[in-house]
Structure 1
Amino acid sequence: MDDPPTEAEIVALSSDHMQAAAAIRRVALWQRLPWLPDLHTPWEDEQYWRMHLLPNCTILGAAMGNRLIGVIAYGDNWIEQLYILPDFQGMGIGSLLLGCAKEEMGEIRLWTFQRNIGARAFYERHGFAAAEETDGADNEEREPDVLYHWRRLPELTPVLQPSDG
């Protein structure tokens, strides 16, 4: 059900992939949240990925064959972007990408829109808790959003009890 598909391969993305990464974000966001204002051109989206995210984040992609179907950008305890093409959602690809970020970071924060019920359920299934809700005044879409937080639980070391023998 939410198991990672065997065909998906996780790959590190380079500048050659930024146009495709920006396009995945654009398609996934506008198909799932059509009420959001379209504030940037595809070229501006690509430049954001190329000039801001690529130098400051780890950017991974999920690929099937030669097709990029999902992307994640993360670093400094933040997930900046996580998008899966709508036709490939619900197949475990987002879980696979999120798992890569969780392996590298012991604490993660991220923002999503309050009305993005699917994303909220996804993050909550993966142990994230809502930490703050806003009216959207501080994001460019002016859409109410929610800050999620996840923290890795500390490893428990078993305490050996002295034996009675």
Structure 2
Amino acid sequence: MAVTSFNLPYEQSDGKAIEKIWGFTRSVGPARFQSRDRARSLRCIAFPNIYQHQVSPFALVDPTKSGHRKTMALLLVDPEHRIPSTSEIPPQQEHWAQAAMATSEASSAFKLLPPEIRQMVARSTEGFMSEAEAKDYRLSLTDERTAFVGVQDKKWFCTIYNFCEH
């Protein structure tokens, strides 16, 4: 049975019970501090998307020397859900297809076509993406994810709940 506020016994305005059952108080939202991790050199910190995170500013130990911080986002997949691999999905890079067409065997009929016709064929072949299109697509996905995270943050992590029943 799902746990809801309807089947848990607590008195109206019983802040202690609400805190014990749900883990937050009337004036504080449901986001809780879980832990603090230090990102060490050549290490990776991984956590599921249900957790918010904050990247703190950093300073060089010796500010007279040059230095930098690199951050890489790895989008992990759930091993319970099958994801098609590259062995099942053909390459989508336009320049790969163009290179394959340009280096086709001399005996190939495609090689006998004038370069203008080969370029027309390459441009009209669907399913390929140029590098510029791929970068635009990546930006659009990033914008979409950022907007989604913003909405979810407000909905789940920043909402203040009031358990008053009237």
Query: Does TM, normalized by the shorter one, top 0.5?
Result: no
User: TM-score scaled by structure 1?
Assistant: 0.18
Structure number with higher strand proportion = 1
Asked which structure has the greater RCO (Cα within 8 Å, sep 6+), the reply is: 2
